[in-house]
Structure 1
Amino acid sequence: MESKPCRNSLAIKTSHVLPPDTNNHGTLFGGKLMAHIDDVAAIAAVRHARKLVVTASTDSVDFLAPVKEGDSVCVEAFVTWTHTTSMEVFVKAVTENLLTGSRKVCTTAFLTFVAIDDDGKPTSIPKVYPETDQEKKLNESAPERAEQRKKRREHSKEMAATFGTDYPWNQNV
């Protein structure tokens, strides 16, 4: 499989924030922004792998600036690092006041996707390589983030085993 540059996976989506997208504060629902992030990141992952993908994890999503009703939100994503069947995707969301042109980064996130075959089994993907200084910085720091994800996943498995599917605090209800 031939390696591909990060830029080949770039996906961009701009949306107008309308009243049904907002909460009682007149700002975009966090879950709506997260849906945009997952959607655009998945497109970037499929562009890289040219295979179906599933979301394996989403690192923390910190809301850095509000996205207000009437603003636009532009979500950009590209693959920064690959393993055998998985890939890390960097996402940046920028809000813009369409009347003034003022723009702010409202969030950044890393998501991990796994490429799957027709039977839903993980399948190999091409390697990715960085070209710009920003891509190189993200690519070089990716193994550390991957190790953090691995530890977090183990902790999540422990929590799942501890709490299971029952609600022990409500057994008498």
Structure 2
Amino acid sequence: MTGLMETFIQNRTMVQPHHANNLQTAHGGNVMKWMDEVGAMSAARFSGNPCVTARINRVDFERPIRVGDVALIEAYVYEAGRTSSHVRLRAYREDLAEDEREKTTESYFVYVAVDDDLEPTSVPELTVETADGERLYEAAVEGNGDGE
């Protein structure tokens, strides 16, 4: 069994001009790529195997991340199936000079663990053993609009 908090991962990327659209904000495709990579790391940490993206629920882009800001991506597994990991993902923009952070994007991805032959393989049972883990679990279940 693996605890929810063991799957929590954060990663930061400085948004550069080559990440941006013509409005000088991070291109949505780059934000999704960063989210997918961090989500796959969280799912792999949970399963102990490489994981592939099986589904992306709606992606809510709430506000932009400007060139020069830091994109902070947070991910954690909040549910597990037989071979799948359900991961909550949130992106934030950080202004390091002003010490500000605000949420910009949120989504829920599903990853499938695969073996050396790239065939689906089982994942462990997910446990929630801490108050922080319970808080994250509740937030994920409440925030996921399709009931997963």
**Same fold at TM > 0.5:** yes
Paired position in structure 2 for 1:137? 138
Measured after TM superposition, the shift of residue 92 of structure 1 is 1.1
Counterpart selection for 2:96 from 82, 95, 98: 98
Superposition RMSD in Å: 1.6
Measured after TM superposition, the shift of residue 99 of structure 1 is 2.1
Measured in 1, the distance between the counterparts of 2:6 and 2:71 equals: 22
Measured in 2, the distance between the counterparts of 1:134 and 1:11 equals: 16
Identity of aligned residues (%): 29
Paired position in structure 2 for 1:35? 33
Work out whether residues 141 and 147 of structure 2, in 8 Å CA contact, stay in contact via their aligned partners in 1: no
Q: What residue ranges of structure 2 are gaps of 5+ in the alignment?
A: none
Amino acid at match of 1:11: I
Measured in 2, the distance between the counterparts of 1:136 and 1:103 equals: 22
Measured after TM superposition, the shift of residue 140 of structure 1 is 5.2
Measured in 2, the distance between the counterparts of 1:110 and 1:77 equals: 9
Q: Give the 3-state SS of the residue equivalent to 1:99 in structure 2.
A: coil
Q: Which has the higher helix share?
A: 1
Give the alignment of 1:150-169 within 5 angstroms: none
Q: Give the 3-state SS of the residue equivalent to 1:104 in structure 2.
A: strand
Deviates further, 39-48 or 9-18: 9-18
TM-score scaled by structure 1?
0.77
Measured in 2, the distance between the counterparts of 1:139 and 1:105 equals: 15
Report how many residues are paired. Answer: 143
Measured in 1, the distance between the counterparts of 2:86 and 2:123 equals: 12
Q: What residue ranges of structure 1 are gaps of 5+ in the alignment?
A: 147-173
* Structure with max Cα Rg: 1
Amino acid at match of 2:44: V
